[in-house]
Structure 1
Amino acid sequence: MRELDDERHFQYFRMSAARFDELLRRVAPMIQHAASHRAPVRDAERLAVTIRFLAAGISQQALAASYKLGTATVCTIIKEVCQALWAGLKDEVKYPQGAQWEAIRGDFWTQWDYPNCIGAIDGKHVRVKAPANCGSSYYNYKVLMAVCDANYRFTFVDIGAFGRESDTGVFGRTKFGAQLIQGRLPLPPHAPLPGTDVLTPPVFVADEAFPQKINLMRPYPGSQQLSHDQKVYNYRHSRARRVIENAFGILAARWRILGRAMECSVDTAEDVTKACVALHNFLSKRDQSLPEQTRYIPPGMIDRDGAPGEWRQVVQGDTNLISTRRITAARATQDGMTVRETFKEFFQTDQGRIDWQDRHVRRGTLNNVA
C-alpha cells in the first residue's frame, strides 16, 4: 500500500499515508501484542485491516482472504481496534465548553444564517443482522443519536438505545435527550440576536420527529396552512438542519460498513459505529488543506447552492442509517413556541433577512437542497 500514489491510498483507506501514520501513533499502545508465534500480526496491519473493513464494508471472510488471515483472527482484530479507535480519538467527539460554544454559534450564523444555534440534531437506525437465538428483547437495530456543529463534525453521539416497534421514547432514554427535555443540559447563556438587543436562548435545530422546546427548535408543522413568514422560518431552519443530514451522509459515504445491516454482534456494531464517528471527526478536522482528491470532505461532497452533494449518489440504495420516526412523547412547550416566533420575526427584519429567502418560498423550493 505504501507504493500507491496518494489518491489511490486515499480511496483504499479514506486517508493519506501520513494521516494513517498519525492515527497509528494514537492507537498503537492499545493494539500492540507480544509476539507469541513466528508470524504475529503487527499493529500497522491490525489498523490497516480494520480501516479497510470500515471503508469498504466488505465481509470479514473476504477481508481475511485478502490479507491471508483467519476469519476468527480478523473478527478479533476488528473489535479490538475499533475499541482502540474510540478510546484514542474520543476527545475528537467532545461536548463543547466555553469558547467552543461561541465558535459554533458564530459558524451557524455566518455559514447557515441561523442565529444562536449551537448544533443540529438527528437520530438514525443502526441495523444489525439478527444473530441466532437473540431473544425477544432484540429488535434488529440500535438508535444513533448525534449532534453536529456547522462544519459537519459530531459534538455528541449516543448509541445506547435499542429500537422498538415504535421509536417513541428513544430520545428521552439518552442522557443528552433527557437533560435537554428537562432543561438540565449545561448550555451557554442567552445571547442577543445579531444587530439587536433581543435575547434568545441557545438552540439546537431538529426535524419533525423532535419536540418543540425552549432549547430545541423544530419547523412549523404542515405546509398548506402556513403563513409566508412561517414558510420563511422553515426555509431558514432547513438550511441549518441540513448540516446534520450531510454529516450522516458523509459518514455513510466514507465508511461503507454503515451502508447495510452489519453482520456482527450488537456490541461489535456499536464499537464499529463509534469508531467511524471518531474517524470522521479526526479526518475532517485535519484534511481541509489537502488537495481535493485526498480531502475527507471536498467541496463537491456536500450540498451547496441547490446542488446535491456527491454523498447522496454514494448512499443511494443503502439500507442502514435510516431516519427515525417520532422519537419522544414529550409535548411542545409554550416557551419553546415563543422562542420560535422570535426567530420567525427576526428573519423578517433588516438584521435577519437574507436576500433569497422570499424567492425560495415563492418557488416552492423549501424542501429542496439548500
Structure 2
Amino acid sequence: MNLKVKSQIFFQCPANEEEWKRIAQNFEVKWNFPHCVGAIDGKHIVMQAPANSGSQYYNYKHTFSIVLMAVVDANYNFIYAHVGCQGRISDGGVFKNTEFYKLLNKNKLNLPSPVELQGRSIKSPFIFVGDEAFPLRTDLLKPYSGQLGRSPERIFNYRLSRARRISENAFGILSASFRIFRKPINLNIENTQAVTTACIYLYNFMRKKPSSGLLSFGSVDVDDPMTGNVSQGKWRVMSENDKGMVNLPRRPIRPSQAAWDVREEFKNYFMTPEGRIEWQESYA
C-alpha cells in the first residue's frame, strides 16, 4: 500500500502475512534472526530554530529538530517512515504518535501468527527489533541492559545487534548520500519535512537501481559469514562529523512480563544447536 496522510508515509509496507514472511525469511537467512519483520530506528533531523516555535522543537541535545522514525527491511529498504514529530517529544512519545504504532497496537498490520522457533515448543511471535530507545514489547525486541559479562543475555544482544544494524546502516547511507543532512537544515518546518520525505523516496528508488551505486561494496557494514567479523561501512567515516542527524535518547522503560518472556524465548533459542551460530561466543 502506498499512502500519504499528513506526515505519515508508507513505502511498500507489507499488506499481508506472506509479504511479512518474505521479509522474515530474509532476516533469518542474511542476519540469523528468525521471525524478524523489520528493524526500527529514529533520528532527530536537526534544523535552524523555527520562527515563533518556543521550545516545541528544542531537543535533549539542545538543538532544534523534527524526528524521522522508520522501519527498514533486511535489504536496507525503508518500508515505513514517519516524519515531523517535534524534537522535544520523548522517544517513546514519538513512537506512539506514529500511525505504525497505532496499527501495531491494534494488531492491524497483518503480521503472521506466532509459530514455534526451530526445535522449540513455545510459539513465538513475529517481531521488530530496536535499540534502547524503544519499549520492550511482545512484538518489539530490544537489548538486555546492564553489565552482562559472558552470558546468554550478551549473546542475545549480539544477535539482535546484527539485525538491528540494518536500520543503522540505512540511516547512515541516507545521510551520506544526501548532504543536506550533514548540517542543520535552514528551512521552515514544512519544507524540512518535505525534503526529508523526498530523500527517503529517492533513496528507495535508487535502491532498486543497481547502477546507482547507493550500496556499493564497502558502503555498508559487511559480515564475514564464516567468522562473524565486521568490516565497517564507509558511511561511518563519512558521517563522523555530521551534525544534521542525531540519535534518539535511550531511556529505560519497564516491560510487561509477557514481553520479557518473548525475549527470554529468543535468548534460549540462540543457545540451542538449532539456533546458535558458530562465532557468537567470540563476539558476545
TM-score by length of 2: 0.86
DSSP 3-state at the match of 1:339: helix
State the 1:197 CA deviation: 5.4
The one of 94, 102, 122 aligned to 2:12: 94
Query: Which residue identity does 1:118 align to in structure 2?
Result: V
Matches within 5 A, 1:74-223: 93-98=11-16, 99-139=18-58, 140-164=64-88, 166-181=90-105, 185-194=109-118, 196=120, 198-222=122-146
Matched, 1:347 2:265: no
- Alpha carbons of structure 1 residues 186 and 100: separation in structure 2 relative to 1, 3 Å: closer
Query: Which residue identity does 2:214 align to in structure 1?
Result: Y
State the 1:326 CA deviation: 3.9
State the 1:199 CA deviation: 2.3
Please give the alpha-carbon distance, in whole angstroms, between the structure 1 residues aligned to 2:181 and 2:89: 21
TM-score by length of 1: 0.67
Give the match for residue 284 of structure 1: 207
Which digits, 9 at most, give the CA deviation of each residue in 1:246-299, with x for residues without a partner? 010011111111111111111000000011111111111221xx4xxx522112
- Alpha carbons of structure 1 residues 238 and 106: separation in structure 2 relative to 1, 3 Å: same
8 Å Cα contact 1:129/1:264 also seen in 2? yes
Give the match for residue 235 of structure 1: 158
- Alpha carbons of structure 1 residues 333 and 295: separation in structure 2 relative to 1, 3 Å: same
- Alpha carbons of structure 1 residues 214 and 91: separation in structure 2 relative to 1, 3 Å: closer
Query: Which of the two has higher C-alpha Rg?
Result: 1
Query: Which residue identity does 2:220 align to in structure 1?
Result: I
Give the match for residue 309 of structure 1: 233
Deviates more, 1:183-192 or 1:208-217: 183-192
DSSP 3-state at the match of 1:152: coil
What percent of counterpart residues are identical? 41
Which digits, 9 at most, give the CA deviation of each residue in 1:85-144, with x for residues without a partner? x99xx9981211222211100000000000000000011101111244444534321111
Q: More strand per residue: 1 or 2?
A: 2
DSSP 3-state at the match of 2:85: strand
RMSD: 2.4
Please give the alpha-carbon distance, in whole angstroms, between the structure 1 residues aligned to 2:271 and 2:283: 14
Deviates more, 1:191-200 or 1:126-135: 191-200
Which digits, 9 at most, give the CA deviation of each residue in 1:3-57, with x for residues without a partner? xxxxxxxxxxxxxxxxxxxxxxxxxxxxxxxxxxxxxxxxxxxxxxxxxxxxxxx
Q: How many residue pairs align between the two structures?
A: 267
State the 1:195 CA deviation: 5.2
Query: Which residue identity does 1:261 align to in structure 2?
Result: P
State the 1:184 CA deviation: 5.3
Which digits, 9 at most, give the CA deviation of each residue in 1:218-250, with x for residues without a partner? 01111x245611111111011010000001001
Deviates more, 1:200-209 or 1:184-193: 184-193
Matched, 1:337 2:255: no
Please give the alpha-carbon distance, in whole angstroms, between the structure 2 residues aligned to 1:94 and 1:138: 29
Give the match for residue 322 of structure 1: 246
- Alpha carbons of structure 1 residues 142 and 227: separation in structure 2 relative to 1, 3 Å: same
Matched, 1:297 2:215: yes
Please give the alpha-carbon distance, in whole angstroms, between the structure 2 residues aligned to 1:193 and 1:225: 25
DSSP 3-state at the match of 2:231: coil
- Alpha carbons of structure 1 residues 283 and 197: separation in structure 2 relative to 1, 3 Å: farther
- Alpha carbons of structure 1 residues 355 and 280: separation in structure 2 relative to 1, 3 Å: same
Structure 2 alignment gaps of length 5 or more: 59-63, 224-229
Please give the alpha-carbon distance, in whole angstroms, between the structure 2 residues aligned to 1:148 and 1:226: 30
Deviates more, 1:197-206 or 1:309-318: 197-206
Matched, 1:263 2:186: yes
Please give the alpha-carbon distance, in whole angstroms, between the structure 2 residues aligned to 1:216 and 1:176: 13
Structure 1 alignment gaps of length 5 or more: 1-85, 362-370
Give the match for residue 226 of structure 2: none
DSSP 3-state at the match of 2:157: helix
Query: Which residue identity does 2:172 align to in structure 1?
Result: G
8 Å Cα contact 2:148/2:154 also seen in 1? no
8 Å Cα contact 2:76/2:170 also seen in 1? yes
Please give the alpha-carbon distance, in whole angstroms, between the structure 1 residues aligned to 2:259 and 2:87: 28
8 Å Cα contact 2:137/2:256 also seen in 1? yes
Q: More helix per residue: 1 or 2?
A: 1
